[in-house]
Amino acid sequence: MQVSATIQEVRTEVDKLAVCAVSASELMAGMVELLHTRMLKYNWIGFYMMEAGAQPPMLVLGPFQGAMTPHTRIPLHEGICGAAASTGKTVVVDDVTKDPRYLACSLETKSEIVAPIFARGKVVGELDIDSHFPAAFTREDQEFVEHCAAVIGKKLEKSPV
């Protein structure tokens, strides 16, 4: 797979951030800012994390960059977000108008990717990215976003907050 120079550069910056951040929350805040600034088609970037001990299980909005979303809490049976967390698989939606699971955040959003975050083998949250461009997330973007999610998972295993 051909990897774009931008993705290569930003991936290096993500890895540097992971070394320097003193906590997972600092890393998450730094990562959403970095991706929002450098990845021009990533127009809303945010984390949803599994609420500790919640029954039924619930995703709660964490650090994000972009417009405020009405979806601050998402149960696992709702949305693209719920689908990614409940299956433990990345979901890529090229056209959000054609996916009945989609929960609208902004009228400008055309496509979306959600990658689960694993810590100690369990889904503990996810990285959600929306784009104003249709089909913005290629295989290369998917691999990069999954890398970002894995970096957060590793940090959470070392420093839970």
Residues lying near ligand SME in the complex (CB under 6 A) are found at 44, 46, 69, 71, 74, 79-81, 102-103, 105, 112, 128, 130
Of residues 61 and 150, the one with the C-beta less far from ligand SME: 61
* Residue 78 Cβ vs ligand SME, minimum distance, rounded to whole Å: 7
Beta-sheet pairing, 111-119 with 122-131: antiparallel
Q: Which is nearer to ligand SME, 21 or 64 (CB)?
A: 64
d(CA 136, CA 96): 11
Residue 19 beta carbon to ligand SME: minimum distance, rounded to whole angstroms:
28
* Shortest reach from residue 136's CB to ligand SME, in Å: 13
Of the pair 23, 106, the CB lying nearest ligand SME is at 106
Q: Are 21 and 14 in contact (CB under 8 A)?
A: no
Q: How far is CA 25 from the centre of its chain?
A: 14
To the nearest whole angstrom, how small is the minimum distance from the Cβ of residue 41 to ligand SME?
15
Cβ-proximal residue to ligand SME, closest one: 79
Q: Residue 77 carries which DSSP code?
A: T
Cβ of residue 84: shortest distance to ligand SME, in angstroms?
8
- Closest to ligand SME by CB, 25 or 131: 131
Burial of 102 (0-12, 13-18, 19+ CB in 10 A): middle
Query: Considering only CA atoms, which of 61, 72, 55, 75 is closest in space to residue 29?
Result: 61
Start-end of H helices in 21-138:
24-38, 79-87
Query: Residue 14 corresponds to which tokens in the numbers above?
Result: 């993500």
Q: In this complex, which beta carbon is closest to ligand SME, that of residue 32 or of residue 80?
A: 80
